[in-house]
Amino acid sequence: MLYGLSAEQDMIAQISTGVACNLPGEITVFGSEGILSLPQPWLPSSPCRTAKDALPLDTAFPSSEIHLQRKGQTETIVVDVDRDLFTYEADMVAKHIDARQAPVVSWDDSLGNMKVLEKWRAEIGLKYEQDG
């Protein structure tokens, strides 16, 4: 699927996704001051993708990289990790469960994400049917 979206702020998004095809898993954002790219945005989940059993506690997770190009210069930011991507998310929720709001993603951000996904589904005609 190739999809374009324009907003009032003159932004355009183009997204390719697929389940049964082997598309590259990367993110590139072009801006007025440079280019931001994540060659492996789903890291540090690599060892978990093929695991059939729980991973040992000493499992090594690969570092992730962010590449920032500005004014002809490229800066590489290395993000070292010690656990799976979703473990970081679960730990953040657990740490802030009493406050009922983690500081990273607000309820409004989550709701906004869901509204965008619903709009995309409506525009391509995807509907979910309920059982019974």
From the list 109, 120, 112, the residue with the least C-alpha distance to 13 is 120
From the list 116, 52, 61, the residue with the least C-alpha distance to 88 is 61
The domains located in the chain, with CATH, are 2-48+59-95 (3.30.360.10)
* Contact status, residue 36 vs residue 66, Cβ threshold 8 Å: yes
Which position has the higher pLDDT, 131 or 56?
Answer: 56
- For residue range 92-118, list pLDDT tens digits in order: 889 988 988 878 788 888 889 899 889
Over its C-alpha atoms, the chain yields an Rg (Å, rounded) of 18
Say how far apart CA 49 and CA 53 lie, in whole Å.
11
- Say whether pTM exceeds 0.95: no
Q: What integer pLDDT is reported at residue 77 of this predicted model?
A: 95
